[in-house]
A and B are shown apart, each in its own frame.
Chain A
């Protein structure tokens, strides 16, 4: 066990946990932020995606000991009222089915647009390939990201 001070959504949190506890479980179990989901625990599905500074990371495979003073952003901190342009586009295209993967999808897409505001259809697909959706909402995800990126709908191949 060790004490860590981490910054999540602009707030400092002191936690006393196992050194190898993945950030995911610190967020969910210790801090109580449940918007970040558990899907595989092995960096294979993207459900747990959060931002470490500006980068999308898989929090299930990122130990608390590696976080340091980086700024963590979760879905709860992505925008004030869930009104990030991507969240609005997600609502416009009614992207979710069960919804479970969607916070991870949105966080991943937000990091993509931060480093590349106008990705091509192919860049969107490449960037999003680590995020699984078992309900199969990929086409609407592409439509929503394309809209925010101002490119033609990436769903047409």
Chain B
């Protein structure tokens, strides 16, 4: 099995749904569904171009209407703060005409056969399930309408649903959904071809603001996260892991650890060596105790002798210096248009800069934690996972079980950002539960989390931009070096993948006559993973800060510069200029989700208008601009900055303009952008992981800092462009343009250009 990064997966846009009347056997196993009532299973399948069903992806989402009128919808995606447990069910409910007050959401467990791929990352839940969810709601609506129409002896076309009732328009007669359940059960389930989806103007919830369903539980402390899962007889494990990736336990002495009251067992966990993989636990020694404190104390008293392995001498600062040299050489060409060397030779001006960004840790506020019980050849897990099926397969593999012997229950996630797609911590719990014969919860401490993350990789990029005699940007030469995510699975990989480059480097959309993208070797020495928007972060930082310099060199306003360089409104493709590869487009066919210059330009114009771009700013203040398309969503950002005499940076305002297609839950789009700005402010101003002797130097939130309230951006204004295009994700797209917009604003305020993250204005 393999855990795939979100941009490596092939998505299928042509997902359609089929609704069937679920048998008892089908749905009994879904926890939380009541028996009785009308139960519809929704199975999704994909079609080829001719509309022929080619592959049933089998996820069955259940929709139940009880005789009490209560509607239950199974949420099959993981909730980590993005609001998906609200947004997907509300699509069904709105199309159905249900009364939201009577809708209950039940979380599905991780089961590919039942729910299809549930991996919740890559900002694609809404994008993939918008249409099938609507179809499911529409089928259920038609079924209820037919049941009512039969009873009233009127044509079904004269009926509609609203707020949990079927209504006959001409007579005003009404019937509750609950009262139609019995009649509806005896009718055949309509096919997708029989339904007509609601006109957008008739939506009650889609495109509006719906509070998240877990709101009250969260504010009253009742919400159950991974850390809150309990089971009878549960013990707590805390693990001392090898401080260097690829190392292993040589021997250990647990005498002192065992002296702590409450300690039950000490068990070694075998590591994978190298490659570390995206799924296996690291080598370590676990203490299992009666409670968390005893386990933490005893773990800290373990004396372990390590074989640190080949990464023991690794120094991240040295690697950055080496990569800075690398990017001045010739690399491997990945995209080529025109003749850059000729453009450079004829240039009036050459701008040449190197951009450095550090390793980052996810630092989800809930550290990784998972509970496992292994009994009679079965394993049951409760975990805060973005990827329940990946977890299920990884656990099965580690235990030597068949996947169907493993059940993964998904709790709420106390933040994820990509970290909780990796099941290593869940496998730890399963292995320890099996070995000890006890129900075991593995608790990571913050130090564990900071030391042993799947890090966002450091990066070094060099961009050379040339300006010709006509004052045009004539050439763009982008050199890139960073350890690839793929190296975590295969040590031989030393260059970025096409997927990683397609996140803002090879899909450079500006119409420049000569474009060159080259990559350089960079070896991985840590576990490299993906963090909210992945390589878009460093790549957008380099590209959009360089474009600001290009604008300045040309004497053109940065917004006007971007609009001009994007060129005519058209859809662009990259394949003909890429070397032996096709542009991944976030796993979507570019025919279905084109790269639209017009939409890019529209968000630019909109953000300029909303931010008052061009206005006179007081001394020490500045506005900076950047635009970026990621995860098929177009985002322009203007950051306002104030820098005082002590070089203290304040961000009073952030302006976003976003085109994410048809907005589903407007409040959660806004909240993702508000949070995205704060998340970016952390990485732009505060966060950095460094490595010496193969070991991470930061331990907790003192060394690895994230933004705190007093320094956090003030008002975040989110302007959503009206759009009827297919909905696209909003979890990651707010992040990439923020940092370059901030750097460009700092330049306006202080005259200092930023080439290294996190920003050090005194450097």
Q: Do the two shown chains form a genuine complex with each other?
A: yes
- Residues in chain A within 8 A of chain B (CB atoms): 1, 17-18, 20-22, 25, 28-30, 32-42, 44-45, 47, 74-76, 79, 81-82, 87, 90-91, 94-103, 106, 124-126, 128-142, 155-157
Q: Interface size class for chain B?
A: 35 or more
Enumerate 29 A-B pairs (CB-CB under 8 Å) in ascending A order. Answer: A20-B297, A21-B291, A29-B236, A35-B220, A37-B365, A38-B227, A40-B701, A41-B445, A41-B700, A42-B446, A44-B702, A90-B219, A96-B214, A97-B83, A99-B214, A99-B218, A99-B223, A99-B412, A99-B414, A100-B225, A100-B366, A100-B414, A102-B218, A126-B710, A132-B701, A136-B675, A136-B676, A139-B712, A157-B715
Max chain B CB contacts within 10 Å: which of A25, A28, A98? A98
Determine if B220 and A39 form an interchain contact, defined as CB atoms under 8 angstroms apart: no
Determine which of B214, B445, B652, B706 lies in contact with A134 in the assembled complex, contact meaning CB atoms within 8 Å: B706
Q: Which residues of A contact B707 (CB under 8 A)?
A: 136
Main secondary structure on A side of the interface with B: loop
B273 within 8 A of A: no
Max chain A CB contacts within 10 Å: which of B83, B228, B707, B710? B710
Query: Taking CB as reference atom, which chain A residue is nearest B222?
Result: A35
Q: Which residues of B contact A132 (CB under 8 A)?
A: 365, 701, 706, 708
| CA distance in complex: A138, B651 (Å) | 13
Q: Which residues of A contact B715 (CB under 8 A)?
A: 139, 155-157
Q: Which residues of A contact B215 (CB under 8 A)?
A: 90-91, 94, 96
Determine if A34 and B218 form an interchain contact, defined as CB atoms under 8 angstroms apart: no
Determine which of A40, A42, A135 lies in contact with B675 in the assembled complex, contact meaning CB atoms within 8 Å: A135
Determine if A101 and B365 form an interchain contact, defined as CB atoms under 8 angstroms apart: yes
Write the nearest CB–CB distance from B217 to chain A, whole angstroms: 8
Determine if B678 and A138 form an interchain contact, defined as CB atoms under 8 angstroms apart: yes
Q: Which residues of A contact B677 (CB under 8 A)?
A: 136
Max chain B CB contacts within 10 Å: which of A47, A82, A96, A124? A96
Determine if A45 and B701 form an interchain contact, defined as CB atoms under 8 angstroms apart: yes
Query: Taking CB as reference atom, which chain B residue is nearest A107?
Result: B221
Determine if A34 and B709 form an interchain contact, defined as CB atoms under 8 angstroms apart: no
Max chain A CB contacts within 10 Å: which of B236, B413, B714? B714
B117 within 8 A of A: no
| CA distance in complex: A99, B416 (Å) | 12
Contacts A38-B227, A91-B216; A98 near B366 (Cβ below 8 A): yes
Determine if B291 and A25 form an interchain contact, defined as CB atoms under 8 angstroms apart: yes
Determine if A135 and B220 form an interchain contact, defined as CB atoms under 8 angstroms apart: no
Q: Which residues of A contact B260 (CB under 8 A)?
A: 18
Determine which of B291, B297, B367 lies in contact with A30 in the assembled complex, contact meaning CB atoms within 8 Å: B291
Determine if A133 and B702 form an interchain contact, defined as CB atoms under 8 angstroms apart: no
B539-580 Cβ-contact flags toward A at 8 Å (1 or 0):
000000000000000000000000000000000000000000
B212 within 8 A of A: yes
Q: Which residues of A contact B708 (CB under 8 A)?
A: 129-130, 132
Task: Name the interface residues of B257-312: CB closer than 8 Å to any CB of A.
Answer: 260-262, 291-294, 296-297
Contacts A29-B292, A98-B81, A134-B679; A155 near B714 (Cβ below 8 A): yes
Q: Which residues of B contact A157 (CB under 8 A)?
A: 650-653, 714-715
| CA distance in complex: A100, B81 (Å) | 9
Write the nearest CB–CB distance from B501 to chain A, whole angstroms: 28
B96 within 8 A of A: no
